[in-house]
Structure 1
Amino acid sequence: MAAVLHRLSGLHAVHRLVWVDVARGLALVSMFVAHAAPSGGPGGVLHLTEFLTAALFAALVGVGAALERRRHGAGRALGLALIRAVALLAAAWLTSLFGAQVVDILTHLAIVLVLVALLLALPLAARAALAAVCLLLGVWLTAVGTGPVARLLSDWLAPVQALTAPVRAELGNVGAALAFTEAESLQWTAEFLTAGPYRLPLLLAWALLGSVLVASVTRFEGVARGRAAAWAGAGLALAAAALAVSRGRTGEFPTPYTASVADVALATGLVLAALGACAAVVPSHLPWLTGILAVPGSMTLSVYVVHQAYLGWAVGVWTVLGGALQPGAGPWLSPAGTDDTWFNVAVLCGGGLLLPLLWRAVVRREPWHRGPLEGPVALATHRLTR
């Protein structure tokens, strides 16, 4: 069995950083548990995936953007970021068709990708400082609330709105429609900053931290493993402190997705620990166990979309073929009719890790070898990556 897995693990692309793809694979497993586990497991340890998953995906956006800037230069890296952002938006539209009981993060990550590609022009220390500011800003804006933030945005943009008012008056009904669109846009922007499980300032902060970490641990001759281990240790210390303070005050874990200080500190600590540990521990060559995570990690977008398709199927939302594919009752449904079952965790982990290996073993032609969705993205970015 080990020999088979060793052979399959060799399907990982040689030009990619193995530890980064292992971190992506870890993010996928964390996501599967966060989206489908019916309980927190022994001691509630699985609840940590609720804090880690989104932060790790965002940090990996920053890691990837920093690596592309180093490899291709600032101009091409920005072009690549724009193309990949469009791909993420297209994938977000695709996942909206499945009806999974999942709040999609791809739209947020598309915006974060473009922003971090622009901010990579800043020095390393400035990016680290900006990440800290964004973390504090995310906590503060959420505490203020969506309505007040929308009013603040309206006040700040009032001079611009005053300048455009005469133009809208000349346009009549079209101008009135534009004014309504402005109000909607302000509300949408405020929600993007403050509401829901994913908040733009926090995701941007984690992406910036990812770009700082990868710049500090990667060298042309390899990875500075001691420095990576220091990042991991600092992350573990921050996460442990957040847990200790929360348990001391409430006796429980922090509440995920609330953007409280404890929530943000725990998520930040976990993501630094995960990235630092992957960089410190994962070798630059590819042993079979590493490949089990690295190969799916290099096909993250495809796996993400397929997992949403499966969860949408599990809850019976699919209506194609007259509903013939709806599964009905089974181990994929909880008694409450949700997708939170251990069966789904097993299916997602097994399928999400093994199907990419099978794809790589069967599909040999480039760029489709990279993945069902990664292939078209590779075609779109070919001119910029040559």
Structure 2
Amino acid sequence: MTPPRLAGIDIARGLALIGMFIAHAAPYPDPDAEWIVDGRSSLLFATLAGVSLGLMSGSAEPTAGRGRMRQTVVLRALLLILLGLVLWIVPTDIAIILDYYGVMFLLLVPLLFLPRRVLAIVAVTLFVIAPLLADAAQPIVDSATTPALVVVPVEWLLTGYYPALVWLPVLILGLIAARSDLRRVGTQLLVLLGGIGGMLVGYGAAAVVLGVDASAHSATHAEILGSGGFAFTVIGALLLLTGPALGAIGRGIRFALAPVGAMGSMPLTIYAGQILVIASFFIAAGRPFVVYDSWALVAWLIIGSALFALLWRRFVGPGPLEWVMRQLTSPPSLATDRTPTTTT
């Protein structure tokens, strides 16, 4: 029997999508300003990838069909990379995350069924080393003589907008959280408290130590601690607030945030859709693609996405791109088992 979806995870993913809408389409009062959603929404989105893969592969009781599950994840990763590269062609001047997301999936494949202690060691090691490697690799990307076949993989892994190796520790921690049974209140509390601790250390260091940078997309240790901590704080809080332990209060919160949760249940569809909508909006308005200054567009993206997701989920089921992804990547034996509780 397939366990019910975790409402808190869907809502967290929906909030990450809304954060991206704001980052992509809201007006900035100052060119140097940084919204709270900048960097944090995309890192929350990526953190939830680790959680989703953990849930998809059996949560606290990993699925027996491990080879088939790895095959599914590899195929989904390749399709995400392909879709991401296609969306880069759409004239929006938005930094697309999906191809980076696919690279993160590929990097998680060999780690997917490792014990939690081993995963923790890998996460800590990458956290220490990856930002240093990113700094060392930047001159390679900046060099005019470096061929594109070298630049693109290095950007995917280390120096790009969403550097996979630098961000991988938070995905691994998301996988560890899923392996620890996110339905347990104790696990939810640990996720929340760990997230708060990460924020205090990361943002605290940036506030008091000269030269420490925790700004969005800085790919520093402080950013990963601070923004990664923010992601786990949101996830832990939502799991607690929407869980059965709160009874009627939890049900009320789930009902109130159902439109956000519906968006989060089909993140691939909503993400790709907003890219196309933003492109169409500026084409129709005759505006330059580098100017995103419309709160009205943000509002329409949120309202339209929520209505579409609610109606589609109610009358059809999984999001259209999620359905296509599942059909193309899941063997028949996986399509009917208990693993697809969340999709990406």
TM-score computed with the length of structure 1 as normaliser: 0.74
- Which residue in 1 is equivalent to 2:138? 146
Which is worse superposed, 284-293 or 95-104? 284-293
Preserved contact between residue 242 and residue 266 of structure 1 (Cα < 8 Å): yes
- Which residue in 2 is equivalent to 1:240? 200
Please state how far the C-alpha of 1:55 moved relative to its aligned partner. 1.6
Please state how far the C-alpha of 1:131 moved relative to its aligned partner. 1.2
Are residues 79 and 252 of structure 1, via their aligned partners in 2, closer, same or farther at CA, if it must alter by over 3 Å? closer
Pairwise mapping of residues 275-290 of structure 1 onto structure 2 (< 5 A)? 275-283=235-243, 287-290=254-257
- Partners of 2:54 and 2:3 lie apart in 1 by 19
Q: Which amino acid aligns with 1:377?
A: M
- Partners of 2:55 and 2:77 lie apart in 1 by 16
In structure 1, stretches of 5+ residues that fail to align are 1-12, 152-179, 317-325
Structure 1 counterpart of 2:301, from 330, 337, 348 = 348
Pairwise mapping of residues 1-386 of structure 1 onto structure 2 (< 5 A)? 15-39=4-28, 47-70=35-58, 72-73=63-64, 74-147=66-139, 184-218=148-182, 223-249=183-209, 254-283=214-243, 287-316=254-283, 326-328=284-286, 338-361=291-314, 363-364=315-316, 369-380=317-328, 381=330, 383=332, 384-386=334-336
Please state how far the C-alpha of 1:370 moved relative to its aligned partner. 1.0
**CA offset digits 1:101-143 (Å, max 9, x no partner):** 2111111111211221320232101111211222222210122
Are residues 197 and 139 of structure 1, via their aligned partners in 2, closer, same or farther at CA, if it must alter by over 3 Å? same
Are residues 343 and 292 of structure 1, via their aligned partners in 2, closer, same or farther at CA, if it must alter by over 3 Å? same
Are residues 119 and 86 of structure 1, via their aligned partners in 2, closer, same or farther at CA, if it must alter by over 3 Å? same
Preserved contact between residue 263 and residue 309 of structure 2 (Cα < 8 Å): yes
Please state how far the C-alpha of 1:309 moved relative to its aligned partner. 0.6
Preserved contact between residue 195 and residue 231 of structure 2 (Cα < 8 Å): yes
Please state how far the C-alpha of 1:148 moved relative to its aligned partner. 5.2
Please state how far the C-alpha of 1:32 moved relative to its aligned partner. 1.4
Please state how far the C-alpha of 1:352 moved relative to its aligned partner. 2.1
- Partners of 1:254 and 1:342 lie apart in 2 by 27
Are residues 252 and 123 of structure 1, via their aligned partners in 2, closer, same or farther at CA, if it must alter by over 3 Å? closer
- Partners of 2:212 and 2:77 lie apart in 1 by 38
- Partners of 2:212 and 2:168 lie apart in 1 by 28
Preserved contact between residue 167 and residue 224 of structure 2 (Cα < 8 Å): no
- Partners of 2:293 and 2:69 lie apart in 1 by 39
Preserved contact between residue 103 and residue 156 of structure 2 (Cα < 8 Å): no
Preserved contact between residue 140 and residue 151 of structure 2 (Cα < 8 Å): no
Q: Which amino acid aligns with 2:77?
A: A
Q: Which amino acid aligns with 1:231?
A: V
- Partners of 2:274 and 2:135 lie apart in 1 by 33
Are residues 260 and 253 of structure 1, via their aligned partners in 2, closer, same or farther at CA, if it must alter by over 3 Å? closer
Please state how far the C-alpha of 1:94 moved relative to its aligned partner. 3.7
Are residues 252 and 39 of structure 1, via their aligned partners in 2, closer, same or farther at CA, if it must alter by over 3 Å? farther
Please state how far the C-alpha of 1:58 moved relative to its aligned partner. 1.6
How many aligned positions are there? 319
- Partners of 1:132 and 1:328 lie apart in 2 by 48
- Partners of 2:73 and 2:139 lie apart in 1 by 32
- Partners of 1:140 and 1:251 lie apart in 2 by 15
Please state how far the C-alpha of 1:310 moved relative to its aligned partner. 1.3
Preserved contact between residue 295 and residue 357 of structure 1 (Cα < 8 Å): yes
Q: Which amino acid aligns with 2:233?
A: A
Q: Which amino acid aligns with 1:16?
A: R
**CA offset digits 1:203-232 (Å, max 9, x no partner):** 3222111101122243xxxx2213312321
Please state how far the C-alpha of 1:54 moved relative to its aligned partner. 2.1
- Partners of 1:142 and 1:230 lie apart in 2 by 30
- Partners of 2:176 and 2:126 lie apart in 1 by 14
In structure 2, stretches of 5+ residues that fail to align are 245-249, 337-344
**CA offset digits 1:256-287 (Å, max 9, x no partner):** 11112322221111112122222222225864
- Partners of 1:252 and 1:341 lie apart in 2 by 33
Are residues 79 and 150 of structure 1, via their aligned partners in 2, closer, same or farther at CA, if it must alter by over 3 Å? farther
TM-score computed with the length of structure 2 as normaliser: 0.82
Are residues 240 and 288 of structure 1, via their aligned partners in 2, closer, same or farther at CA, if it must alter by over 3 Å? same
Preserved contact between residue 35 and residue 340 of structure 1 (Cα < 8 Å): no
Preserved contact between residue 255 and residue 263 of structure 1 (Cα < 8 Å): yes
Are residues 203 and 253 of structure 1, via their aligned partners in 2, closer, same or farther at CA, if it must alter by over 3 Å? closer
- Partners of 1:47 and 1:101 lie apart in 2 by 18
- Partners of 1:343 and 1:138 lie apart in 2 by 39
